[in-house]
Amino acid sequence: MDQLPIFLFGAGGAASWVLQGFRRAGIPVAGFVDDNADRIGAVAGLPVVRPDNPDVDRGHLAESTVVLAVMNPAVDEAVLRVRLAELGWGTVQSLGEFGRSELRRSGRSCGMLDPKALAGNAAELKAARSLLSDAHSRLVFDAFVAFCHELDDSGFPEVSPHPYFPEDLPSWRQPLRMVDCGAFDGDTLRAAQRHGYEFEACVAFEPDPTNFAKLGPTVQSVRGGMAWPCGVSDRTQLLRFSAQGDTGSSVSEHGELAIQCVSLDDTIPHFAPNLIKLDIEGSEQAALEGARRLIQESRPGLAVSVYHLPTDIWRIPLLLSDMLGPRCSFFLRRHSRTIADTVLYVFPEP
C-alpha cells in the first residue's frame, strides 16, 4: 500500500532536525507546513506550504498526516490541532505520537537521535548519570534516554524556562567574563542582561554570515564585547559549514561554505572566562577538547548543549568530569519539547 503523504508542521531549525530522523528511518516526507511559507519557499529540497494554502489539493490534504515538529514550548499544540483540522488537514499528531505508532507498526525509529548509538554503553550512561547533582537532573536524563529509545516523552519534568539562566540553579559568577560559542544573533547575551548580569568582557563566536550580521549591535552594547565570525572546534582549521541563517546552522561535510574554526586555547589563552556557553550543533565535544587548558586553568561555569548527538548525553559530562575533577556540580535542564534544548550546567568549585 502506498504511503499516505506526511508533512512536518514548522520549517525552522527544529523541523529540519526532525526531518533528519525521518530520512534516517526511510520515512518519506512530502513537505513542510508553515505560516511563513511564502518567505521560506523550501527546506532541504522540500516545499513549504501555508496551512491555509488554497492551491493545495483538498483530497490530498484530507489524506495527509501532519506531524507537529515545533519544539518551542510557547506554541500551543492543542490550538494547532484544532486549526489544522478546521482547515481540512487529515491526521495531526505530535512527534512522540507518530514516532511511537511507527515504531510499533514497522520497527523504524524516526527520532532525531539514533538509538543505536546508545546500545552497548550502559556503563558510560550510568557513570554520567551518577555525576548529576539533583533529582530533577536525573529525571531529565532518564527521560532523554527513554525518548531516544522509544519516543516516549511522558517521563519528562516540566520544561524549564530561561535557557542558560535557569532560576532554580546557582547564579553565575559576576561580573561575567563570558565566551559565547554559537552566539546566533546575540540572544544569550541579551538574556544575560535581562537577568541582571553585569559584564566585564565577552567574546562571541558565530560563523553563519547572516547571524553574524545581526550579532553586532548586541555585542556593541556589552562592556568589553568582541565578536569573531568563526566556528569553535578542537583545533584551528578550515571546515565545511551549512549556513541556514537560523539556529540550525552547523559544521557539515556537505556544507556550501568553508569557514575558519578555532580552538579557544589557541585564540583566547589569557581571557580567563568565568562562563562558557556552547550551542554549536554537535561540535560541543570538539570545542571542549580545544578549550581544555582554558577550562582547567580558569574553572569557568559551563552551559553546554547535549542534545545534538546521541553520545553527548554521556560523553560530555564524563569529559568535563575528567577535566575538572570531583569538585563540581552537574545539572541537566530541558528548555523545549522532547529532547530539544537539553543543556548541561556545570559549576566547578574554585
Predicted local distance difference test score (pLDDT) of residue 59: 73
Whether 290 contacts 265, CB under 8 Å: yes
Predicted local distance difference test score (pLDDT) of residue 253: 62
CA distance 4 to 28: 9
Predicted local distance difference test score (pLDDT) of residue 350: 87
CA distance 133 to 345: 10
Predicted local distance difference test score (pLDDT) of residue 244: 57
Fold of 122-228+269-348: Rossmann fold (3.40.50)
| Domain 6-112 -> CATH class | alpha beta
- The secondary element (H helix, E strand) that includes residue 314 is helix 312-324
Residue 177 backbone phi and psi in degrees, to 5? -115, 90
Three-state DSSP at 345 gives strand
* Apex 25 CA angle, 71 and 64, nearest 5: 65
Q: Say yes or no: do domains 6-112 and 122-228+269-348 share a fold.
A: yes
Output the CA torsion 236→237→240→241 (10° steps). 20
Predicted local distance difference test score (pLDDT) of residue 1: 35
Q: Where are the domains of the chain?
A: 6-112, 122-228+269-348
pLDDT tens, the chain, 350 aa long: 356 799 999 998 899 999 999 999 999 999 999 999 999 999 989 999 999 987 777 777 889 999 999 999 999 999 999 999 999 999 999 999 999 999 999 999 999 999 999 988 999 999 999 999 999 999 999 999 999 999 999 999 999 999 999 999 999 999 999 999 999 999 999 999 999 999 999 999 999 889 999 999 999 999 999 999 999 999 988 876 555 554 454 555 656 677 889 999 999 999 999 999 999 989 999 999 999 999 999 999 999 999 999 999 999 999 999 999 999 999 999 999 999 999 999 999 98
Predicted local distance difference test score (pLDDT) of residue 249: 46
- The pTM score is 0.93
Predicted local distance difference test score (pLDDT) of residue 74: 93
* Apex 347 CA angle, 74 and 156, nearest 5: 35
One DSSP character per residue, 26-38 reads: T----EEE-TTHH
Predicted local distance difference test score (pLDDT) of residue 57: 74
Predicted local distance difference test score (pLDDT) of residue 105: 93
Predicted local distance difference test score (pLDDT) of residue 52: 92
In angstroms, the Cα distances linking 232 to 205, 241, 276 are 7, 12, 12
